[in-house]
Amino acid sequence: MAKVAIIGAGFAGHTTAMYVGSALGKDHEITMINMSDRFLYVPSLVWAGVGHFDVEKTRFPLKKVYDKFNVNFVHGKATEVHPDEQYVIAERRDNQGGQARVDYDYLVVATGPHLNFKGTPGLGPEHGNTYSICTASHTVQARDKFLESVERMKRGERQKIVVGTGHPGATCQGAAFEYITNIHKSLIKRGVRDKAELLYLSNERALGDFGVRGVHVKKNGRMFSSEEFINALFKEYGTDWKIQKGVKNVEKGKCYWEDYDGDEGETDFDFGMLIPQFTGMPMKYIGQDGEDVSAKVVNPSGFIIVDAIYGQPYEKMASNPDVWPGIYQNPNYKNIFAAGIAFAPPGPISVPHVNPNGMSISAAPPRTGMVSGATGKIVAENIIDLVKHGRMTHNERMTEMAAACIASMGDSMWDGSAAVIVVYPVVPNCRRYPNEEGRDMFVTHMEMGLAGAWMKRMIHTTFMHKLQGRIGWSLIPE
């Protein structure tokens, strides 16, 4: 009987658990370890963060789902991995308390990110001066602060709202873009848009870069970029922007940054939502003699080392699609896999930049949403192959992987809108597509309108159905 342990029930880990449980759960021992006893559908937090959606509609209990798939569930925080002896230690968060030991033959690390607010002094909702929509509790705090600003505007006060990235190496610019456009729409509905100054503050090289080197599509016989797309939208919405900025410190009502040229500046705000740096979840990796073996498992940022080619200069990496991993397997411990944000990328997708002061202002590569689900499924299929046939048959790199993003710009089904962006592949592949962009210009697409708002809501409903393992779940693509 094979034992499979999975750490983390986000998009990647939950997808892995469902597929592995469905294929192996009746005859083998599958165990999920997760800090929360509920799944969180993060993409819809952007609506909850402006008070237009109930946070509870983004969550559901995990154990009921895992019971369907014969997956054991440990409600706890994984603190130690013992890769030589093949077990995980978790601090229980249920009413049993204490520790749980989970033995494994195969381990999947799919923890999602550690929100490194401490990486920027003064950042974050707990001990800092900004807010976040990265978790359910953070979103509730952001919503309450936003609604407080709305009440101030209703009393005639002006408010400056800053949304973007709070670290020179942050990612998830798409979430920040969605949030500021939803704020704009919400303020219009509440009749106070004229009392607000909106600013998008980002570490991106160009507006609309989103950490994927931007998106270019062919429209009416000419190339059209995501930079033009977002530029036109922000002008229409009366939203200002500052890019190429690395936030390095935040005080109450003020953030300090450096730019690409090494110049320093500051930005005032009344309400700020800034995405922190993502790092790997802190865990100890302990060898059989008690020694620290973390260097064999994770990189300095805490992400799991996989079958990527690391350490190459950007120019060489950008020209070689094979530097990206395809099976998401650790080279030192072949029975350890990683999926979603937890795997260590070989480097950035967008062109990195180091300013004259030595500050790296570079958008980290996004590995959320569809990419998380896709990598979770690849890992699941390979583990199923190993258990049943002793060999792996699935391989897909981000230089071969498509992703679609539906960026909400108002949740109304009548006058809302959304930007639909399809990118193929996620990481430009100049070998396969020897055009300037390294992408398939037939598949890659951008569109904006009311239909996107309907699609965004439909995807919420569809994925909440899929991720609860309801009838036909496996027919819905990741």
Q: What is the 3-state secondary structure of 257-284?
A: EEECCCCEEEEECCEEEEECEEECCCCE
Q: How far apart are CA 332 and CA 224, in angstroms?
A: 44
In this structure, the chain runs to a length of: 478
Give pTM, 2 decimals. 0.96
Q: How far apart are CA 139 and CA 51, in angstroms?
A: 10
pLDDT recorded at residue 418? 79
pLDDT recorded at residue 405? 83
Residues 237/227, Cβ–Cβ less than 8 Å:
no
User: To which CATH superfamily is domain 3-114+278-356+363-389 assigned?
Assistant: FAD/NAD(P)-binding domain (3.50.50.60)
pLDDT recorded at residue 406? 82
pLDDT recorded at residue 352? 97
Low-confidence ranges of the chain (pLDDT < 70): 410-413, 415
Computed from CA positions of residues 175, 108, 303, 329, in that sequence, does the dihedral angle turn out positive or negative?
Answer: negative
Distances (CA, A) of 381 to 65, 71, 94, 395, 454: 19, 16, 30, 10, 32
Query: Residue 375 burial by CB count (10 A; 0-12/13-18/19+): exposed, middle or buried?
Result: buried
Q: Sketch the domain layout of the chain as residue ranges.
A: 3-114+278-356+363-389
Torsion of CA 177, 181, 187, 188, to 10 degrees: 170
Residue in this structure with the two tokens 């607010």, named with its chain if needed: 117
pLDDT recorded at residue 413? 67
pLDDT recorded at residue 421? 87
Q: State pLDDT tens for residues 310-343.
A: 999 999 999 999 999 999 999 999 999 999 999 9
Torsion of CA 27, 31, 37, 40, to 10 degrees: -90
pLDDT recorded at residue 411? 66
Q: How far apart are CA 438 and CA 338, in angstroms?
A: 26
